[in-house]
């Protein structure tokens, strides 16, 4: 009986081509636009987020400052400097530190063949890599602990440095580069990355070597700055306090002195970004809900019109003996069929569009579109529900009218 | 077969209440051919709709085959409409997207009649109304008379005890009108009970069993027991 009914319903659906197509198209389009719009939003969000994290994640950059409070017999205004072994000192005395690296920095002449130019040359520990997102290009590497141990004359260079010194499209890995007249082997090149934040130039324009090699050549007494990261981001604040306390003890400045040891805490930016992204997510959510509402109103409207229009047909069916529950059953089956076909085709079309957009050279503008399965499923569910609910009221009402009332509208 | 007692029907549309039927009493016996006549707006259709269980009286009792309609629930009423009553509308009320065959088949589907038997019945009844060569046509591909034949076939297909027709020839030219009238007369002669509203003066040629309604009341009942 039920199967016979379903066959009959499908037959009726296929006969009412105009209505069926109209509804199908409404649902199809609603699904496609909601999914595409949200994918665009998410792509924008993730491409912004990627750029923001170009410099590194959840790190603290530590400089030496001037004291602003007189302390331990010293007057205020004393210029402080951090020594080569302070990174070791901190690592040994502040257990909250996960990674730390000193950073030296000089502006030095570099030449490859006849090509000569000045670059920012940095010396760091291998830990620097993780903290600062120094991702080596495939087939190359960052400075290793062995380089550090053996004071190897090796460098890791920015992709722009490679391009400038070796020329477009040339792989510099394994080649020689003269820094201040001394030959270095290039062991790695940084992958192209978007970087919005920096404190001494962009990584793509810089050269990095082991501190051991650097100190053997230049013998600096002081570091330019240090970079540190906590074991657990939620402990960053405590780590900062512990670093200040340790250094205050060693160099005898007040632990309350804000200016003696300036720290740039990028987690603060992350927190700001977090807030920003929460805002953006809410915005996206609102856009999504709006799109759903607009798409839903369109579909609801079509459903409503169709069921209203169908009221007299429902009346006729009731007049010749259709029971209420049959009318409602028919409505449910119809809606289910239409909503499934509509949302599925809409979903597939959105997928196709995403694929096409990602293929097209547009990713500078829109980023890479990704289909979020949760959003897809939710949109499809909500659209189906809207479709169903929009028609349910009028269908139920029509089925409850006296047949003659339904027939006459 | 049909007994109506003190049937009143009041339409409440906004401010004005229209009393379409003001206490109608009526008896119709099995095998009768009753014609309902009366001026426009007198309540003929209202009476017919109540008789066909398409509408409910405001007050009064309608007893069909010994059952008071009041005591039936919606499912029982649907079954009654499906099995006991064949209703023919003035404007056909066919489903536009369905073929003649499918329109006629529909009451059988609602009744749960199985495939083979259903096909037999639909074809037989369409043959009877002279439409065996138009089974796959949709209503918009049929003439008015043909549409009304489809509607009559649909009313007949479930072997109802009573056929109700509200101006079945009202939308037809005189030639098709005559054919439809003759079809009803044949059905009556086969033993069907028929109640028909008509303005058609030719009705007198076929029956002298009239119910004359004016202003919501039956004026005189001729040969109605
Ligand atoms: N659904 C309705 N709502 C309000 N008033 C109605 C409704 N249906 C009928 N009426 C009123 O009830 C009265 C009787 O109408 P009905 O349709 O029964 O007349 P009728 O005798 O069939 O007329 P006609 O010969 O023109 O078909 C009329 O005054 C009409 O205006
Ligand atoms: Mg009428």
Chain B contact set for A403 (CB, 8 A): 54-55, 81
| pLDDT (mean) for A190-204 | 80
User: How many helices and strands (H and E) does chain B possess?
Assistant: 7, 10
Which ipTM score applies to this complex?
Answer: 0.92
Q: How many CB atoms lie within 10 A of CB A88?
A: 13
Per-residue pLDDT at A5 exceeds 50: yes
Residue with tokens 């919501």: B216
Per-residue pLDDT at A307 exceeds 80: no
Per-residue pLDDT at A198 exceeds 90: no
* Highest-confidence segment of A372-376, B12-16, B143-147: B143-147
Residue B15, min C-alpha distance to chain A (Å): 19
Between residues B26 and A29, the one the model is more confident about: B26
- Nearest residue CA, atom 26 of ligand 1? B40
Query: Quick one: pLDDT band at residue B223, thresholds 50, 70, 90?
Result: very low
Lowest mean pLDDT among A173-187, A194-208, B166-180: A194-208
On whether residue B113 sits in a domain, the answer given is no
On whether residue B147 sits in a domain, the answer given is no
Q: How far apart are CA A386 and CA A381, in angstroms?
A: 9
A321/B82 touch (CB, cutoff 8 Å), yes or no: yes
Query: Quick one: pLDDT band at residue A282, thresholds 50, 70, 90?
Result: confident
Chain B contact set for A408 (CB, 8 A): none
Q: Which atom of ligand 1 is nearest to the CA of B216?
A: 14
| pLDDT (mean) for A23-38 | 84
Name the residue in chain B with its Cα closest to that of A19: B97
On whether residue B100 sits in a domain, the answer given is no
The number of distinct structural domains making up chain B is 1
Residue A363's pLDDT is 57
> How much distance in Å is there from the Cα of B20 to the middle of ligand 1?
7
Residue-wise over B79-111: b if at least 16 C-beta within 10 A, else e? ebbbbbbbbbbbebbbbebbbbbbbbbbbbbbe
Q: Show the ligand 1 pocket: residues with CB < 6 angstroms.
A: B 11, 13, 18, 20, 38, 40-46
Chain B contact set for A407 (CB, 8 A): 54, 89, 93
| pLDDT (mean) for B164-190 | 89
Q: What is the 3-state secondary structure (H, E, C) of chain A?
A: CHHHHHHHHHHHHHHCHHHHHHHHHHHHHHHHHHHHHHHHHHHHHHHHHHHHCCCCCCCEEECCCECCCCECCECCCCECCCECCHHHHHHHHCCCEEEEEEEEEEEEEEEECCEEEEEEEEEECCCHHHHCCCCECCCCCCCCHHHHHHCCCEEEECHHHHHHHHCCCCCCCCCEEEECCEEEEEEEEECCCCCCCCCCCCHHHEEEEEHHHHHHHHCCCECCEEEEEECCHHHHHHHHHHHHHHHHHHHCCCCCCCCCCCEEEHHHHHHHHHHHHHHHHHHHHHHHHHHHHHHHHHHHHHHHHHHHHHHHHHHHHHHCCCCHHHHHHHHHHHHHHHHHHHHHHHHHHHHHHHHHHHHCCCHHHHCCCCCCHHHHHHHHHHHHHHHHHHHHHHHHHHHHCCHHHHHCC
Per-residue pLDDT at A305 exceeds 80: no
Closest ligand by atom to B36 CA: 1
Residue A288, min C-alpha distance to chain B (Å): 38
Candidate of B41, B212, B216 to mutate for ligand 1, largest count of ligand atoms within 8 Å of Cβ: B41
Candidates A15, A321, A322; nearest CB to B98: A15
pLDDT > 90 fraction of chain A, expressed in percent and rounded: 42
Q: Which atom of ligand 1 is nearest to the CA of B199?
A: 25
Structural domain including B61 reads 2-93+161-222
Query: Quick one: pLDDT band at residue A166, thresholds 50, 70, 90?
Result: very high
| pLDDT (mean) for A386-402 | 86
Between residues B191 and A310, the one the model is more confident about: B191
CA B150 to chain centre: 13
Per-residue pLDDT at A324 exceeds 90: yes
> How much distance in Å is there from the Cα of B152 to the middle of ligand 1?
23
Query: Quick one: pLDDT band at residue A392, thresholds 50, 70, 90?
Result: confident
Residue A402, min C-alpha distance to chain B (Å): 5
Residue A388's pLDDT is 87
- Nearest residue CA, atom 19 of ligand 1? B41
A402/B56 touch (CB, cutoff 8 Å), yes or no: yes
Q: How far apart are CA A85 and CA A223, in angstroms?
A: 9
* Highest-confidence segment of A96-100, A232-236, A299-303: A96-100
| pLDDT (mean) for A269-297 | 76
User: What residues of chain B have any CB closer than 8 angstroms to a CB in chain A?
Assistant: 49, 52, 54-56, 74-75, 78-79, 81-83, 87, 89, 93-95, 97-98, 102, 106-107, 109-112, 154, 158
On whether residue B120 sits in a domain, the answer given is no
Residue A321, min C-alpha distance to chain B (Å): 4
| pLDDT (mean) for A90-105 | 94
> How much distance in Å is there from the Cα of A86 to the middle of ligand 1?
101
- Nearest residue CA, atom 3 of ligand 1? B11
Query: Quick one: pLDDT band at residue B224, thresholds 50, 70, 90?
Result: very low
A321/B98 touch (CB, cutoff 8 Å), yes or no: no
Per-residue pLDDT at B221 exceeds 60: no
Q: pLDDT averaged over chain A?
A: 86
Query: Quick one: pLDDT band at residue A49, thresholds 50, 70, 90?
Result: low
Per-residue pLDDT at B202 exceeds 80: no
A321/B52 touch (CB, cutoff 8 Å), yes or no: no
CATH no. for residue B86? 3.40.50.300
* Tens-digit pLDDT profile for residues B101-131: 999 999 999 998 988 999 999 999 999 999 9
CA neighbours within 13 Å on the CB side: how many for A312? 11
A403/B154 touch (CB, cutoff 8 Å), yes or no: no
pLDDT > 70 fraction of chain A, expressed in percent and rounded: 94
Q: How far apart are CA A84 and CA A102, in angstroms?
A: 7
* Tens-digit pLDDT profile for residues B30-58: 999 999 999 999 999 999 999 999 999 99
Closest ligand by atom to B20 CA: 1
Ligand 2 (single-atom ion) residues, CB below 5 Å: B 45
Residue with tokens 């809409």: A346
| pLDDT (mean) for A300-327 | 86
Chain B contact set for A329 (CB, 8 A): none
The helix/strand/coil state of B135 is coil
Q: Tell me the pairing of strands B67-68 and B16-28.
A: unpaired
Q: Which atom of ligand 1 is nearest to the CA of B213?
A: 21
Lowest mean pLDDT among A132-136, A201-205, A308-312, B124-128: A308-312
On whether residue B66 sits in a domain, the answer given is yes
| pLDDT (mean) for B7-20 | 90
Per-residue pLDDT at A285 exceeds 80: no
Q: Is the Cβ–Cβ distance between A133 and A54 less than 8 Å?
A: yes
Q: How far apart are CA B142 and CA A255, in angstroms?
A: 99
Name the residue in chain B with its Cα closest to that of A316: B93
Identify which of B65, B34, B67, B30 has the alpha carbon closest to the alpha carbon of residue B48: B34
Query: Quick one: pLDDT band at residue A221, thresholds 50, 70, 90?
Result: confident
Query: Quick one: pLDDT band at residue A4, thresholds 50, 70, 90?
Result: low
Sequence spans of domains, chain A: 2-52+270-408, 60-265
Per-residue pLDDT at A314 exceeds 60: yes
Chain B contact set for A324 (CB, 8 A): 74-75, 78
Per-residue pLDDT at B225 exceeds 50: no
């Amino acid at each position: 009986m039920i199967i016979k009914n379903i066959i009959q319903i499908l037959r009726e659906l296929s006969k009412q081509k105009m209505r069926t197509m109209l509804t199908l198209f409404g649902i199809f389009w609603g699904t496609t636009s909601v999914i595409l719009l949200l994918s665009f939003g998410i792509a924008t969000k993730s491409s912004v987020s990627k750029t923001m994290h170009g410099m590194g994640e959840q790190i603290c950059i530590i400089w030496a400052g001037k004291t602003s409070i007189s302390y331990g017999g010293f007057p205020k205004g004393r210029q402080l400097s951090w020594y080569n072994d302070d990174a070791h000192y901190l690592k040994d005395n502040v257990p909250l530190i996960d990674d730390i690296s000193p950073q030296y920095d000089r502006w030095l002449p570099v030449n490859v063949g006849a090509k000569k130019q000045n670059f920012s040359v940095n010396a760091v520990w291998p830990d620097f890599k993780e903290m600062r997102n120094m991702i080596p290009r495939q087939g190359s590497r960052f400075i290793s602990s062995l380089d550090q141990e053996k004071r190897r004359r090796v460098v890791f260079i920015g992709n722009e440095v490679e391009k400038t010194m070796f020329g477009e499209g040339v792989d510099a890995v394994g080649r020689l580069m003269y820094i201040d007249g001394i030959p270095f082997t290039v062991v790695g090149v940084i992958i192209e990355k978007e970087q919005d934040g920096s404190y001494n130039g962009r990584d793509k324009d810089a050269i990095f070597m082991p501190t051991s090699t650097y100190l053997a050549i230049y013998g600096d007494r002081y570091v330019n700055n240090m970079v540190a990261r906590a074991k657990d981001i939620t402990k960053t604040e405590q780590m900062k306090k512990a670093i200040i306390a340790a250094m205050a003890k060693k160099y005898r400045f007040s632990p309350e002195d804000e200016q003696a040891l300036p720290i740039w805490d990028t987690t603060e930016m992350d927190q700001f970004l977090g807030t920003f992204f929460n805002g953006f997510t809410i915005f996206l959510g609102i856009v999504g809900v709006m799109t759903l509402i607009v798409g839903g109103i369109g579909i609801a409207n079509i459903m409503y019109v169709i069921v209203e229009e169908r009221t007299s047909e429902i009346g006729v069916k009731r007049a010749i003996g259709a029971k209420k529950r049959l009318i409602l059953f028919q409505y449910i089956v119809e809606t289910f069929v239409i909503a499934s076909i509509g949302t599925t085709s809409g979903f597939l079309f959105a997928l196709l569009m995403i694929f096409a957009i990602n293929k097209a050279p547009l990713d500078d503008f829109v980023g890479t579109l990704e289909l979020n399965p949760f959003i897809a499923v939710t949109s499809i569910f909500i659209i189906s529900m809207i479709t169903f609910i929009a028609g349910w009221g009028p269908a139920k009402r029509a089925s409850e009218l006296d047949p003659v009332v339904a027939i006459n509208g | 077969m049909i007994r109506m007692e003190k049937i009143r029907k009041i339409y409440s549309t906004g401010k004005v209440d229209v009393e379409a039927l003001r206490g109608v009493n009526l008896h119709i016996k099995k095998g009768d051919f009753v014609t309902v006549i009366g001026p426009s707006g007198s309540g003929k259709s209202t009476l017919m709709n109540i008789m066909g269980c398409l509408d409910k009286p405001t007050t009064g009792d309608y007893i069909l085959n010994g059952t008071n309609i009041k005591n039936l629930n919606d499912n029982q009423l649907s079954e009654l409409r499906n099995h006991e009553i064949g209703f023919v509308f003035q404007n056909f009320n066919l489903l536009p997207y369905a073929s003649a065959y499918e329109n006629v088949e529909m009451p059988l589907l609602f009744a749960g009649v199985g495939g083979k038997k259903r096909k037999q019945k639909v074809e037989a009844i369409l043959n009877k109304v002279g439409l065996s060569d138009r089974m796959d046509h949709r209503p918009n591909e049929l003439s008015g008379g043909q549409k009304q034949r489809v509607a009559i076939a649909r009313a007949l297909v479930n072997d109802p005890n009573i056929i109700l027709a509200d101006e079945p020839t009202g939308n037809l030219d005189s030639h098709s009108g005559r054919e439809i009238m003759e079809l009803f007369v044949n059905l009556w002669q086969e033993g069907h009970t028929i109640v028909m509203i008509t303005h058609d003066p030719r009705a007198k040629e076929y029956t002298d069993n009239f119910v004359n309604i004016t202003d919501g009341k039956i004026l005189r009942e001729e040969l109605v027991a």
